[in-house]
Amino acid sequence: MRISVIGCGYLGAVHAASMAKLGHDVVAVDVDPVKIERLAAGEAPFFEPGLPEILTEAVESGRIRFTTDMAEVAGARVHFLAVGTPQGPTGAADLTYVDAAVAALTPHLGAGEFVIGKSTVPVGTAARLAAEVEAAVPGASLVWNPEFLREGFAVQDTISPDRLVYGVPAGETGERAVALLDEVYATTLAEGTPRLVVDLPTAELVKVSANAFLATKISFINAMAEIAEVVGADVTALADAIGHDARIGRKFLNAGLGFGGGCLPKDIRAFQARANELGVPDSLAFLADVDAINLRRRDHVVELAQEVLGGAVTGKRIAVLGLAFKPNSDDVRDSPALDIAARLLGHGAAVAAYDPEAVVTARRLHPELEYVESATDALRDADLVLVLTEWNEFRELDPTVAASLVSNPVVIDGRNCLDRDAWTAAGFTYRGMGR
Kindly tell me the burial class for residue 40, based on how many C-beta atoms sit within 10 Å of its own C-beta (0-12, 13-18, 19 or more).
middle
- What does 168-200 look like in DSSP terms, one character per residue? --SSHHHHHHHHHHHHHTHHHHHTT--EEEE-H
Q: b vs e for 112-146, b when ≥16 Cβ sit within 10 Å of the residue's Cβ?
A: ebbbbbbbbbbbebbbbbbebbeeebeebbbbbbb
C-alpha triplet 187, 193, 199: angle, nearest 5°:
105
Compute the radius of gyration of the chain from its Cα atoms: 23
* Whether 263 is catalytic: yes
Burial class (CB in 10 A: 0-12, 13-18, 19+), 398: exposed
**Beta-carbon contacts of residue 330 (< 8 Å; ≥ 6 apart):** 46, 47, 324, 355, 357, 358, 360, 361
Determine which one of 181, 212, 263, 362 is catalytic: 263
Helix (H, G, I), strand (E, B) or coil at 350: strand
Query: For 143, phi and psi rounded to 5 degrees?
Result: -135, 175
Q: 231: how many CB neighbours lie within 10 A of its CB?
A: 6
Residue count (the chain): 435
Question: 3-state class of 354 per DSSP?
Answer: strand
Angle at 65 between CA 59 and CA 71, to 5 degrees: 175
d(CA 394, CA 388) in angstroms, rounded, equals: 10
Give the rounded distance of the alpha carbon of 189 from its chain centre: 25
Q: Are strands 410-413 and 429-432 parallel, antiparallel or unpaired?
A: parallel
CA–CA separation, 91 and 272 (whole Å): 8
Q: Please report which residue ranges of 75-141 form alpha helices under DSSP H.
A: 96-105, 125-136
- Residues with Cβ within 8 Å of 288's Cβ and at least 6 positions away in sequence, in order, are 272
* Residues with catalytic roles: 263
